[in-house]
Amino acid sequence: MIDTYRTQTCGDLRRDHVGQTVVLLGWIHRVRDLGGLIFFDLRDRHGLTQVIVRAGSALSDVAARLRPEFVVAVRGEVEARSAETVNPKLATGEVEVVASALEILNEAKTPPFPINEDAPVSEETRLRFRYLDLRRPAVQRNLILRHRVTLAARRYFDEQGFVEIETPILTRSTPEGARDYLVPSRVHPGEFFALPQSPQIFKQILMIAGMDRYVQIVRCFRDEDLRADRQPEFTQIDVEISFATEALVFEIVEGAVKTMFAEGGVVVATPFPRLTFDEAMLKYGSDKPDLRPGMEIADVSDQFRESPFSVFRDAIAQGGAVRGFVARGAASYSRKDLDGLTEQARQLGASGLIWVRRASGALQSSALKAAGDAPLAAAFDAAGGKEGDLLLLAAGPAALIAPVLGQLRLTVARRQQLLSPADFRFVWVTDFPLFEWSAGEQRWDPMHHPFTSPRLDDIPLLTSDPGQARARAYDLALNGSEIAGGSIRIHRADVQRQVFRLLGISDEQAKARFGFFLDALEYGTPPHGGIAFGVDRIVALLAGEASIREVIAFPKTAQAVDLMAGAPSPVDERQLRELGISVTKSFTAKDTKDTKEKG
């Protein structure tokens, strides 16, 4: 029996250890039998070490039984590898362990996919056998990065005077715009807890309670419609600050981002650039703009006010615009490429797409005849086009063509390979509208959540023109993803009531749903504000992963299912009876469809 106390991990051994007797424990990564001489790589989370069992050794019989994923203990002497067998790719590649004792601690069935190679495996299989998938070094690296990022964030916020405070998981509905997950109460039959969509109300109450600076790395739950890269439970770094101004929040957040990204080896320059929501929509067609490709969208309406081309002229006359962006070096796009982009524009709701390019000194355009050479050339120049470039133009109401051009911009950027995952471009987006009109419900919905303060000079608009009121809200975007979002809050009970009323929540309803919070607001509430970071997305971006599932140990599928644990699942009749619940079988797709989606 080997003393199963390891002297080193499988990632530790170096040339300095040559001559020492060591004990290593781990999994068999790979075995090679060279006619009696058996090599195997032993693996743990720290690395791989090559072990040798010499031909004719007393251990040969045990070694011959080894298969991938067996758990073994090895004792042996560290030897230097000869120059030609050194493996520069392995941290332990200069040495190997010559086994003097070998013990199989546990056998393993043949895994459904190899752990020792990066062969493509369906995500379904990976998630079903997540305990095996998590043995793969790439996934382990992501989880370790996640640990380092959150640890660094905790230290940073502590240094900045923040206190981490836990808030309830079993609570009441918090309005973040999604459906709640409900938990029936057995002791209060017919009553339900809601899982928090965020700790929003609690963190504001902590400010009222004088805690000054709150932080929490916290799980949030939102029962939203299924989307490819969304998780029903996700992790936020949730922050709230008393006596906050936008400038103070930005400074604290920028410091946190610097600290977290340093863990991924990324040096972040601050302060971050800022765009208002209106600027972001006009220049990038998105409220979470990706700044990497440049390619700002320009307004070229001035060239077409008197245009003979009715598509342009009418759009402008009806209060719309002609806007577009230049794709560098894209004059060489084929007819098929241009047709593809036009089709995408149509599918996104635009009436069409006009292209203009300059190649070999000549201007070409899909609207050359209709719009005329001179105005198109002027528009091309005004948008910054040069020889070899392509200008893509859309005409129509500004709000309609902005997101269309925004999407096309990203399609072209992807094609032109302008979206390097190693390039990190942060941008604050501020001055969001406070409300958005819900045509379905015929009422205003909050663009963030109902506790967001209007800009002070916009408070009168709450009565006269709510759609024009701007919010003291801010999002931090990175490479086209929103990685944090928050606001300065309403701290006056009267303004809060007024906002509830605009959202169609009567005083009675507000009292029933948020009475405790409205009461609390009346007892000396400091001005305050905060933000929440999306940990999953931040770590995914740092790890260079497209999906947040790659940085979550036990994620759910895009269908909101935990394939390994088999959740959700039916429960026993008896459990239902205790809860006073009976399951009706009459569900239809309509019953479970979201009426509203939050971006």
Determine if 224 is a binding residue for ligand ASP (CB under 6 A): no
Determine if 486 is a binding residue for ligand ASP (CB under 6 A): yes
Binding span for ligand ASP by CB under 6 A among 287-295, 528-536, 538-546, 556-564: 528-536
Of the pair 216, 487, the CB lying nearest ligand ASP is at 487
Of the pair 8, 167, the CB lying nearest ligand ASP is at 167
Determine if 538 is a binding residue for ligand ASP (CB under 6 A): no
**Tokens at 38, concatenated:** 């058996």
Determine if 57 is a binding residue for ligand ASP (CB under 6 A): no
Q: Which of 69, 94, 133, 176 binds ligand ASP (CB under 6 A)?
A: 176
Minimum Å gap between C-beta 253 and ligand ASP is 11
Binding span for ligand ASP by CB under 6 A among 90-98, 114-122, 439-447, 482-490: 482-490
Residues 6+ apart with CB under 8 A from 90: 47, 48, 50
Look-up: residue for tokens 């390019």?
357
Determine if 49 is a binding residue for ligand ASP (CB under 6 A): no
Backbone torsion region of residue 559, taken as left when φ is above 0, otherwise alpha when ψ lies between -120 and 50, otherwise beta: alpha
**Tokens at 123, concatenated:** 């995500």
Minimum Å gap between C-beta 192 and ligand ASP is 21
Residues 6+ apart with CB under 8 A from 300: 322, 323, 324, 378, 379, 382, 383, 393
Determine if 293 is a binding residue for ligand ASP (CB under 6 A): no
Determine if 496 is a binding residue for ligand ASP (CB under 6 A): no
Of the pair 203, 409, the CB lying nearest ligand ASP is at 203
Determine if 485 is a binding residue for ligand ASP (CB under 6 A): yes
Of the pair 49, 198, the CB lying nearest ligand ASP is at 198
Binding mask 184-213 for ligand ASP (x = CB under 6 A): --------------x-x-------------
Peptide bond into 184 cis (omega under 30): no
Are 24 and 17 within 8 A, CB to CB? no
Are 200 and 178 within 8 A, CB to CB? no
Query: Collapsing DSSP states into helix, strand and coil, what is residue 52?
Result: strand
Of the pair 167, 487, the CB lying nearest ligand ASP is at 487
DSSP per position, 164-212: E----SSB----SSSBPPEEE-SSSTT-EEE--S-SHHHHHHHHHTT--
Binding span for ligand ASP by CB under 6 A among 14-22, 357-365, 453-461, 530-538: 530-538
Report how far residue 259's alpha carbon sits from residue 53's, in angstroms, rounded to the nearest whole number: 46
**Tokens at 102, concatenated:** 């070998």
How many chain residues touch ligand ASP (CB under 6 A)?
A: 9
Report how far residue 104's alpha carbon sits from residue 75's, in angstroms, rounded to the nearest whole number: 12
Determine if 253 is a binding residue for ligand ASP (CB under 6 A): no
Calculate the alpha carbon distances from 400 to 102, 146, 285, 443, 593 in Å.
69, 39, 10, 21, 26
Determine if 285 is a binding residue for ligand ASP (CB under 6 A): no
Query: Collapsing DSSP states into helix, strand and coil, what is residue 563?
Result: coil
Q: Which of 487, 490, 496, 551 binds ligand ASP (CB under 6 A)?
A: 487
Q: Which DSSP state fits 363?
A: E
Determine if 530 is a binding residue for ligand ASP (CB under 6 A): yes
Of the pair 410, 488, the CB lying nearest ligand ASP is at 488
| Residue count (the chain) | 599
Binding mask 430-469 for ligand ASP (x = CB under 6 A): ----------------------------------------
Q: Which of 326, 353, 532, 552 binds ligand ASP (CB under 6 A)?
A: 532
Of the pair 264, 530, the CB lying nearest ligand ASP is at 530
Report how far residue 245's alpha carbon sits from residue 488's, in angstroms, rounded to the nearest whole number: 7
**Tokens at 417, concatenated:** 């390979």
List contacts with ligand ASP (CB under 6 A).
Answer: 176, 198, 200, 485-487, 530-532
